[in-house]
Chain A
């Protein structure tokens, strides 16, 4: 799997995926209910401590923040200009905390465990008139399709390079879509031919 999971045996690694998602949702909501920077700072300290506790490095923690760094900087500057620098620090610290907490979930939970957890939680969908088996099929198919699409993209790109069209987005996209749509029709037929009736 190409997920962000980092193998380990810590208590967070062993905790059930559903419980971790729930905990993150609760903690995430709580950070929006407080306006006390001290609570956020304490949260940040705990989250940072949890990284080494769970066999992760501080580099892993930084990797959670880095992709959003420019947004954080932009938000901070805007807060300093339009409000106060204190509010800027608070908002940025809250983001940092949320990213670190979510990173803990992502790094200690296999995507496959997460999907299993979701599938176990799906039966409630029946009450809404949604068939959980269909959701589950769509999830697994999408995961399978991503590497396939990367391969088809590579093939089409090579074919178009031969024609000198490698810089044309449209010459790349149209055959890519036609190929994948044809493939998806075949897959649907194959699934039905095997008697799948969700």
Chain B
């Protein structure tokens, strides 16, 4: 795997962007459970859609590394290696896989990806893949059945859907304004 200097800078940029999205004042929607919806999971969606599979995946892997070494970069100022051992751990790893999958799906098109298609792609990665990693680890660490945890995660789905659509719109706008990606 060869990485140019530009690749490295972009990997660092999208890792930092994901971190910055956690610092963003959360888009507070009063939803069930009182769980604040933060912009953070949009980091993996945008990294995949804009930086591509390799750079996007590595950017979120770098983000996970930064969290692991103790920087308070997860939404709400959380950080540290311990997070990986809590239910959040699977989600952090899932972000990297999701960015990779989204980037790979987008790379199947040569021109502009139609909006609906890109919404589907981002949903596959940003919701499907993230929970594919997040739910089993949550279930394992909390000693609960997968079904129960999956049921709890439905609370996040409305927020996730909004983020998917937003990410698709942002990705389209950025690609149009900055075609050199």
Note whether A and B form a binding pair: yes
Chain A residues with CB under 8 Å of chain B are 2-5, 21, 24-25, 28, 64, 67-68, 70-71, 74-75, 78-79, 82-83, 87, 91, 95, 98-99, 101-103, 105-106, 109, 111, 114-115, 118, 129-131, 134, 137-139, 141-143, 145-146, 148-150, 153, 169-170, 173-174, 177-178, 180-182, 184-185, 187-188, 191-192, 196, 198
Report Cα–Cα, A138/B13, bound state, in Å.
9
A173 vs B72: C-alpha distance when bound (angstroms): 22
Q: How far is the CB of A81 from chain B (nearest CB, A)?
A: 9
Number of B positions contacting A (CB below 8 A): 62
- Bound form: Cα–Cα A142–B9 in Å: 8
- Nearest CB of A to B181, in Å: 7
Residues of B within 8 A of A (CB): 1, 3-6, 8-13, 15-17, 19-20, 23-24, 27, 33-35, 46, 50, 58, 62-63, 65-66, 69-73, 76-83, 85-88, 141-145, 148, 152, 166, 169-170, 173-174, 177-178, 180-181
Q: Are A169 and B174 in contact (CB under 8 A)?
A: no
The smallest C-beta distance from B89 to any residue of chain A, in angstroms, reads: 10
User: Is A185's CB under 8 angstroms from B16's CB?
Assistant: no
Give CA–CA (A181, B27) in the complex, Å: 24
Q: Are A188 and B17 in contact (CB under 8 A)?
A: no
| Cβ B24 vs Cβ A153 within 8 A | yes
Assess the A103–B173 pair: CB atoms within 8 A. no
Are B82 and A188 neighbours in the complex by a CB distance under 8 Å? no
